[in-house]
Chains A and B, each alone.
Chain A
Amino acid sequence: MRSSYPVRLLKSDGNWIDGELFEGISETNLIHFEQLWKPQLDEMRREAIERRARGEKCYDGADAHWNWRKFVELTTGDLSVRQFTIEADGETQGLMLVSTIYRSRIEPGQHLLYVDRVAAAPWNRKSKKAPQRFRPIGSLLIRHAIGTSLAEGFSGRVGLHSLPGSTGFYCDRLAMKSFGPDPHHQNLEYFELSVAQAQEEIKKSSK
């Protein structure tokens, strides 16, 4: 049985519902990804390319090519990788993979929790077409990554490569330290959360 804890989510109709944050990505989660997420992500990706062709700045669906089944197959049994899922309303609302083998750039030599992948279901992302069905998803997963770093003994240190449309959250909201574009990782901007920031974040976010 997967470990979990309850999380509350705001539905688009204004009511709060109970969801759950699980350790592990199940076969059901993968089926939800393939049958529910993927067609919408492909459509988002197609529209983003068309908008970019018109000169607009749009990064929607930048993760449309991610194959979560492959990620799970490759990482199940790897003790350095942990998988997390948010479920609500009978569907998978968010997915995350984290790795424990990386080291900090802020404090060289110290372990950190590296967020390898994190994504919200396409219907939970901000869009001009429809209100987000459930919020928050990404924030809960990133908070969980910080908590996992604390639980692993990494003092809350978290590192990640942000997709282009998400840098604002890491930079403006979490004030993570930016190390700029990483030439070894598709030139995506690398961010790191310090021990002090992590502890403050968990303190102010917990009951």
Chain B
Amino acid sequence: MFKTPPSDRWLQEAVGLEQEFEISAGSEFQVGTEDEAAFQEAAPVNPLQMAFAILMRNLRVDHRLTIEQLAEQIAVDGDQLLLIEKSVGFKPPPRTLQKLSAFYKLPFTAVVQMAGAVTNVNPLLARNAVQFAAKSESFEQLTRDEKKLLTKFVQLVRDMK
């Protein structure tokens, strides 16, 4: 094994450089690969935001879109869409919420409440969202019951205009 310690002079220089430069090498996080599964969630769970994550995931599956396809269609960073679905507590920027609300034809006010972008939440929405989250799971394909549940909840959200 190479065992030559560096000189003090070199150390001083390196210390200064590391204030200026990041030093890393390897592979970058990629959406749509096994990196997705490896990216673990660490934020505290909010039931309304969990419902939002499930709603976004199930609506996308119902539209038969991958994250990358949806990202392309609504011109939003795929990493953001990934975090919306998998990282409960992630707060997307309003512009992304606007695009999702327009694409899925959901009222923007309901979307921002569910995403945790505002603190004033409609109690009816909160109650129904939590029930929706409790009964739903994120599968690759929606079962008939899940599709029915999704349709019912989406209708309720749309009626909140």
A residues apposed to B, CB below 8 Å: 3, 5-8, 10, 23, 38-39, 42-43, 45-46, 49-50, 52-54, 59, 61-67, 115-120, 124-126, 132, 135-144, 147-148, 150-151, 160-166, 168-169, 172-173, 185-186, 188, 202, 204-207
Knowing A63-B26, A162-B25, the reply to whether A169 touches B17 (Cβ < 8 A) is yes
Asked if B19 and A135 make an inter-chain contact with CB atoms under 8 angstroms apart, the answer reads yes
Tier of interface size on chain B: 35 or more
The prevalent SS among residues of B at the interface is loop
The answer on a CB contact under 8 Å between A6 and B5 is yes
Tell me the complex Cα distance, A188–B29, Å: 11
B80 touches A165 (CB 8 A): no
Chain B residues within 8 Å of A, Cβ to Cβ: 1-8, 10-11, 14-15, 17-30, 35, 38-43, 77, 79-80, 83, 87, 90-93, 95-96
- Say yes or no: B35 contacts A150, CB within 8 Å: no
In the complex, are the beta carbons of B24 and A135 less than 8 A apart?
no
Is the beta-carbon distance between B29 and A65 smaller than 8 angstroms?
yes
What residues on B are CB-neighbors of A6 within 8 Å? 5
From A206, which residue of chain B is reached at the shortest CB distance?
A: B4
Give B93 Cβ to nearest chain A Cβ, in Å.
5
Is the pair B1, A139 in contact by a Cβ cutoff of 8 Å?
no
Residues from chain A with Cβ under 8 Å of B95 in the complex = 53
- Cβ of A3 and Cβ of B3 under 8 Å apart? yes
State how many angstroms separate the Cβ of B18 from the closest Cβ of chain A: 5
